[in-house]
Amino acid sequence: MEAKVTRGGHDTIRAMVWTTEGLRLIDQRALPAAEQWLLLTNPAAVAQAIREMVVRGAPAIGITAAYGVVLSAREHFARTPAQWRQSMEDDMRMLAAARPTAVNLVWALQRMRECAHRIAGGVDPVPALLEEASAIHAADVAANRAMGRLGAAFIPPGCSVLTHCNTGSLATGGYGTALGVIRRAWHDGLLRHVYADETRPWLQGSRLTAWELLRDDIPVTLIAEGAAAYLMKLGRVQWVVVGADRVAANGDVANKIGTYSLAVTARRHGVRFMVVAPSSTLDMQAPDGEAIPIENRPETEVLTLSGQAVAASGARAWNPAFDITPAELIDVIVTERGVVEAPDSARMAALNG
Ligand code: MRU
């Protein structure tokens, strides 16, 4: 299976494909060294893939979980047709627990649950649930394209941007959030230079963002996170463009660890700060960033690199996967429903409706 398909417009990568056998995922742990596809045929395998970062990125996790529900219904309807709903609920709890910060995961599961409730007793649930999961997937790509257009409108010609983590086709249904804006701005000839943080400890920037952009013919320059302040001081970037795992009702944003320090540094240097996230990433139940659960990941991710120890033996590590950027440091939040400049509770509420 090939991750790259002809689609044009600097948009050729897809990270997940549904087939009659099950869900195929490109193994993001192996990139860029190897392009390996895994076939997942049951919900436990899907939960494990999310937990272990075969697939990552908030929207991609949600879409993957939705397909996981289809696999659950298929398995349980075949085994005990009268009880598939109860067994599917158990699987949904398992899927929801796989990673805590990205709200897209529980959002997608709730959509699948509501779809399941509409299915009449005795009817094979798989076609309706597959249609719903595919609709979630397609809507995400459409949202990304809309956000690409809305976000690129803020980018002046000749601008250079810095991005963090991986927010592209690998992290979404396709096209990407922050990388969608960068794809669109590049396509429109607006960008001079794209810089990407390498994004320790998982190296989503150097392994995934660089792979994805180069595959789509967009040149990229990697920097160590520690170089960002100096890059800004030298006036080499005008916008920081990042994604989100969860946006609270007041516009505070949870995103990959290191996002907060980029926002602080950007404000210090007069560099503008854009967050790009679909409405499935908004959590209006969380009043502010304090209410967002932050995932702590194993120490080994910091202490080792590609399985090799890089730290002094005996050193401990603290490894929060995300941090909170306060709304006051954000110039604009871009969603497919519209943009919110200088976000606060009132402007976020107005966007929602
Ligand atoms: O730990 P990860 O790789 O799942 O973290 C991903 C991010 O922080 C992304 O910026 C976020 O999910 C937005 S992806 C469109």
Q: Bridge-partner residues for 145, per DSSP?
A: none
* Of 69, 189, 166, the residue nearest 117 (C-alpha): 69
What is the per-residue pLDDT for 340? Answer: 98
With a CB cutoff of 8 Å and minimum separation 6, the contacts of 10 are 183, 186, 187, 216, 217, 218
Q: Are 321 and 256 contacting, i.e. CB atoms less than 8 angstroms apart?
A: yes
What is the per-residue pLDDT for 210? Answer: 98
**Residue 315 DSSP symbol:** -
Q: Bridge-partner residues for 23, per DSSP?
A: 18, 40
**Residue 155 DSSP symbol:** P
Full pLDDT tens readout for the chain, 353 residues: 666 676 667 898 999 999 999 999 999 999 999 999 999 999 999 999 999 999 999 999 999 999 999 999 999 999 999 999 999 999 999 999 999 999 999 999 999 999 999 999 889 999 999 999 999 999 999 999 999 999 999 999 999 999 999 999 999 999 999 999 999 999 999 999 999 999 999 999 999 999 999 999 999 999 999 999 999 999 999 999 999 999 999 999 999 999 999 999 999 999 999 999 999 999 999 999 999 999 999 999 999 998 899 999 999 999 999 999 999 999 999 999 999 999 999 999 999 87
Give me the count of residues in the chain. Answer: 353
What is the per-residue pLDDT for 6? Answer: 64
**Residue 121 DSSP symbol:** T
CA of 189 to the centre of ligand 1 (A): 26
What is the per-residue pLDDT for 8? Answer: 66
Among 141, 245, 260, 325, name the best residue to mutate to test ligand 1's pocket (greatest count of ligand atoms within 8 A of Cβ).
245
CA of 220 to the centre of ligand 1 (A): 19
Q: How many CB atoms lie within 10 A of CB 238?
A: 18
Instruction: Report the catalytic residues.
Output: 245
Listed in sequence order, the DSSP H helices in 26-57 are 43-51
Q: Are 95 and 109 contacting, i.e. CB atoms less than 8 angstroms apart?
A: yes
Instruction: Report the pocket of ligand 1 as residue ranges, CB < 6 Å.
Output: 56-59, 102, 165, 167, 171-172, 177, 204, 243-245, 255-256, 321
What is the per-residue pLDDT for 128? Answer: 98
**Quick one: how far is CA 117 from the chain centroid?**
28
Nearest atom (ligand 1) to Cα of 204: 3
The one-letter amino acid at 162: L
What is the per-residue pLDDT for 186? Answer: 97
Q: Are 348 and 284 contacting, i.e. CB atoms less than 8 angstroms apart?
A: yes
* Alpha carbon nearest to ligand 1 atom 15, residue: 167
What is the per-residue pLDDT for 4? Answer: 67
Q: pTM to 2 decimals?
A: 0.97
CA of 352 to the centre of ligand 1 (A): 23
Listing DSSP states for 192-223 in one string gives EEEEEE--TTTTIIIIIIHHHHHHTT---EEE
Q: Is the dihedral of CA 281, 287, 290, 296 positive or negative?
A: negative
What is the per-residue pLDDT for 352? Answer: 86
What is the per-residue pLDDT for 181? Answer: 98
